[in-house]
Amino acid sequence: MFTTRTLAALAAATALALSLAACSGAADAGTGTPAVDAATATSLSAFGDLAALEDAARAEGTLNVIALPRDWANYGAVLDAFSEKYPEITITEASPDASSAEEILAADNLAGQDTAPDVFDLGLAVALSSTDRFAPYQVATWAEIPDALKEASGLYTGDYGGYMAVGYDPDAVPAPKQLSDLLGDEYTGKVAINGDPTQAGAAFAAVGLATVQNEGTVGDFQAGIDFFGELNQAGNFVKIDPTPATIASGETPVVFDWDYLNVGYGSSLAGERNWEVVVFPGTGYAGYYNQAVNKDAPHPAAARLWQEFLYSDEGQNLWLAGGARPVRADAMEAAGTIDADLLAALPAAPAETVVPTEAESAAGAALVGEKWAAAVQ
Amino acid sequence: MSARSGPQLSSSRRGTAAAFGLLPFAAYVLLFLLLPTLIAVGTGFLDETGAFTLDTVAALANPVVLHAFASSFGLSALTAVVGAVVGAVACYGLLGAREHGPLRAVVDSLSGVLAQFGGVMLAFAFVATIGIQGLVTVILRDTFGIDIFADGVWLYELPGLVLPYIYFQVPLMIITFLPALQSLNPHWAEANATLGGNRTTYWFRIAFPVLAPAFLGSLLLLFANAFSSYATAAALTSQGSQIVPLQIRSALTSETLLGRENLAGALALGMILVMAVVMSGYSQLQARAARWQR
């Protein structure tokens, strides 16, 4: 492990020296169009219009994305649609299964190289702690994004989100009606969560859901930790990472995960295994991922064009097709541009919704770090 | 340059030439073992801004971290002892087979492969055989009415690591211990018989004392092997980061608990200290064992 890290550091250092020279050359390679410094553009107006941005991005010819699993929130279709629309721009997909923290690590390690990520898709905690790596950019549809889900200057912007939900195999277990049902004997050795909450955002949200469903508040995750402690005591907690493979084999018949991911498991296993998704009534726990542009993006115009594409009606509807709730959903519903069938197919939203603030998630993370390992062993 | 080549070099010049032969390996070790180790350990003494601090190393006293070290140590010790005993017995059994016969050849090469068969492949092999839907689990449950997971699914927790670890520990023991067992000189048994000893005196007064350093050395190697294993545990267990290598991963890649990258360096320092103690014990025992193997 140490070897890998240092190799990467060495490689980065060497490549930095090489690419510094390369970059200075590339910067002059204008194509006759009026020079726009894409790296400092904070909105479309810097380019003039979308067509000008498209030209600038085509001239760059490449877009580097990182940590976008093709089975996550329909990203496979999103990437393909972008490639089809802009065939001149090659998308390089790096480390699809990396965590948000690893995206930032990659940007640091590859800084200055033309393989560094251009754009990020990050959990809120990492987005909040990494703002010094981002270039502010406000997409054309900026006004339609709820203020609570974006950073005022456009350093990062909420993109899609969902509710923490439980997916289950109706042939293996009875349908859970509420969280406490999962403590019953029918669920012995059957309940998994997507990752370790001290590491993965989705697993952390599962503990958050258990907290608010057990009359706790997002300010104190103890109730949620206690719930999983009980689940473990009851012998119901399975501690393997659920994947489409473990779901297909029947190893993990009940999985806590974002509703859009659970819906995705169902559609990718259609015909192989039945998979239902339930968002428990009562208080729901929601979370949004965030887009950000790398301030040292090797392809600054392509990075911004990607943002415009994601926040266009087309991009937003593609996420919706993956079961995620796009950030412009309300505005698009009002304007009638959202795909109504897809919207109606989402699991029903609970009566009340909580999203933890930065301070609340930090406190929750600290508590989970301290208590989780002991609670579940 | 002339006919006066290698064999006629003076001994000191031959030493210099030999040192040149070592150069590629030395450079390799320096670049890919020593340097990364120093960098990893060095980060344990830095805070997030890059200034010197002892706070990160002090975080090793955190109960969660201490517990992970205890679990790692316990798991490694248990699987090393079981692996060493089972492996040694297997070696003894193999002594009965012809040295260049097919049985020895098969077991030798199989051990060589299986000793390296850790990681994701091994984890999934166990999921497929004794997972909840595993072949053996299902047969035991449906045919014999035995539910091995009646009290919860232990395979994906710390106890679940014991079987997979033993799976690669036993072959490693066979590889390292068989040469020692082969070096038992048959003349010693004859001398023992000539002097009026029986089988018991042969084993307890001669064979065990001669084999003890090699056995303990192999035991320590097995311990180190388990202590530094990462991939099997990472693929099999996902909750609680119960052993130190998983704690290091967590510190490096967590997207919920941020800013703990330097803790990974401190954890590495802790592991290196444990390994240094174990490996220096190993080399001392090897030195003793070598006296009997000339």
Q: Give the ipTM of the model, two decimals please.
A: 0.76
Nearest residue in chain A measured CA to CA from B240: A373
pLDDT at A348: 80
CATH topology of domain A162-286+348-375: D-Maltodextrin-Binding Protein; domain 2 (3.40.190)
Res B3: pLDDT: 45
- Tell me if chain B has a CB within 8 Å of the CB of A238: yes
Using 50, 70 and 90 to split pLDDT, how confident is the model at A252?
very high
Q: Could you say which of A6, A241, A370 has the minimum Cβ distance to residue B238?
A: A241
CATH number of A42-161+288-343: 3.40.190.10
- Report, in this order, helix, strand and coil percent for chain B, each rounded to 5: 75, 0, 25
For residue B64, the chain A residues in CB contact (below 8 A) are 369-370, 373-374
Q: Judge: B240–A239 Cβ closer than 8 Å, yes or no.
A: yes
Which amino acid belongs to residue B86? Answer: V
Task: From chain B, pick out residues whose CB is under 8 angstroms from the CB of A169.
Answer: none
Q: For residue A5, what pLDDT band results from cuts at 50, 70 and 90? A: very low
3-state secondary structure of A351: coil
**Which among B241, B242, B258 is the nearest to A125, CB-wise?**
B258
pLDDT digits over A224-251, tens only? Answer: 999 999 999 998 999 988 988 889 988 9
Q: Over 50: is that where the pLDDT of A4 sits? A: no
Is A123 close to B257, i.e. CB distance below 8 A? no
The string of pLDDT tens digits covering residues A114-123 is 999 999 999 8
Mean pLDDT computed over A169-190: 92
What distance in Å separates residue A153's CA from the closest CA in chain B?
A: 24
Q: Are A58 and A88 contacting, i.e. CB atoms less than 8 angstroms apart? A: yes
When the pLDDT of each residue in chain B is averaged and rounded to a whole number, the result is 85
Distance CA B220, CA B150 (A): 35
Confidence of residue B13 (pLDDT cuts 50, 70, 90): low
Instruction: Write down the domain spans for chain B.
Output: 44-291
For A198, which of B35, B152, B257 is closest by C-beta distance? B257
Predicted confidence (pLDDT) per residue in B18-45, tens digit: 778 888 899 998 998 889 888 888 888 8
Q: What is the pLDDT of residue B241?
A: 82
The verdict on a CB contact (< 8 Å) between A365 and B256 is: yes
Q: What is the pLDDT of residue B293?
A: 55
Residue of chain B with shortest Cα separation from A250:
B133
Q: What is the distance in angstroms between the Cα of B33 and the nearest Cα belonging to chain A? A: 7
Higher pLDDT, B279 or B222: B222
Decide: A169 and A247 in contact? Cβ < 8 Å. Answer: yes
| pLDDT higher than 90, residue A191 | yes
**Secondary structure (3-state) at A165:** strand
Shortest Cα–Cα distance, B175 to chain A (Å): 25
Map out the domains of chain A as residue ranges. 42-161+288-343, 162-286+348-375
In contact, B60 and B266? CB cutoff 8 Å: yes
- Model confidence at A52: pLDDT above 60: yes
pLDDT score recorded for residue A137: 95
- For residue A11, the model assigns a pLDDT of 47
Looking at the domain covering B44-291, what would its CATH class be? mainly alpha
Q: Taking a contact as any Cβ pair under 8 Å apart, which residues of chain A between 171 and 230 contact chain B?
A: 188-190, 193, 195-201, 204
- Per-residue pLDDT, A12: 46
Tell me: pLDDT of A28 over 50.
no
Round to whole Å and give the CA distance between A132 and A149: 19
What is the residue whose two structure tokens read 């995705």? A264
Do the beta carbons of residue B148 and residue B130 sit within 8 Å?
yes
pLDDT of residue B148: 85
Predicted model pTM = 0.77
With beta carbons under 8 A apart, name residues in chain A contacting B230. 1
Are A123 and A289 a contacting pair, CB within 8 Å?
yes
